[in-house]
Amino acid sequence: MREVRYRSIADELRGRVEAGEFGRGRLLPSESELSTAYGVSRVTVRKALELLRDEGLIDARQGFGWFVATDPVRQSLARLGTIEEQLEALGSASERRIVSFGVVPAPPRARQVLGAGSVLEARRVNLADGEPFARVTVWCPEDVAAGLSRAEVQRAPFYDLVGAAIGSATQTIGAVAAGPEDAALLAVPVGSPMLRCERITRDARESPVLLSEFVFPAHRTEFVVELNRVEPSIGPSGLRLVQ
């Protein structure tokens, strides 16, 4: 009877995924929630989930739980680009939703990098095929961002909007745990592993004009660097260990 039950649960969950109730990369209810919903033990639920994993329909990661299987978006670090360009190059539908927008006193890091007392702060969620993919916050000196509207920032990247030619950028990538706000925005559990990127973008005169923070659920993206064999090291330029 238990074997029949776990197979029937797997069949129902498979149908819900195939019907689009859970999009690619989207978390499923927890084992505890499924156990309560179906009135069975967690052992039975886990057998159903493992069956679907064997089929390649779902997957699991420590700290996340079970989610609909999807190939991570591979973001190249070989050139300066936007999330939208990366997603569109992979055939994914890209969308941005503004969470907050307005001129604020510069946070300490923005003041340090941009040398501005007040900044335009724009916080958004980027979606890939309708599912939350990244939380992005961009700070821009108030004088550089003068005249920009919420609608413009929702429609187009800052690179296309600021009145300055973009020259170069420095990007720093590290690991963090999801706080309550990012967990809610990105539909992941609090404390789950995330990738955090800080990008300092400079104009053609090498003056910083944008400070950006990107936070990605770790199961949804990976960064790729092409390495050429150059003596004495084959490591990418600028790589350093955090002590």
Which tokens sit at 176?
Answer: 């963090």
User: pLDDT value at position 243?
Assistant: 39
Q: pLDDT value at position 121? A: 97
Note the pLDDT of residue 59: 86
27 three-class SS: strand
Q: Is residue 241 part of a domain?
A: no
Is residue 80 a part of any domain in this protein? yes
CA pair distance 9, 228, nearest whole angstrom: 49
Residue 236 resides in a domain: no
Judgement on whether residues 55 and 97 belong to the same structural domain of the protein: no
Range(s) of the domain holding residue 80: 73-224
199 falls within a domain: yes
Task: Please give the tally of structural domains in the chain.
Answer: 2
What pLDDT shows up at residue 229? 66
Do both 117 and 158 map to the same domain? yes
CA distance 83 to 203: 19
Is 141 part of any domain? yes
pLDDT tens-digit map of 200-239 = 999 989 999 999 999 998 888 888 877 776 655 444 444 4
Are 40 and 55 in the same domain?
yes
Which residue type is seen at 51?
L
46 in the same domain as 87:
no
> Closest by alpha carbon to 216, among 109, 134, 101, 127?
134
Residue 242 lies in a domain: no
Q: Are residues 79 and 55 in the same domain?
A: no
- Where a domain ends, among 22, 41, 68? 68
Chain mean pLDDT for the chain: 84
Average pLDDT per block of 10 residues along the chain, 243 residues long: 76 87 82 90 90 87 79 72 74 86 96 95 90 93 90 88 84 92 91 92 92 90 75 46 41
- Please give the model's pTM, rounded to 2 decimal places: 0.76
DSSP class per residue in 120-142:
EEEEEEEEETTEEEEEEEEEEET
* Any domain includes 243: no
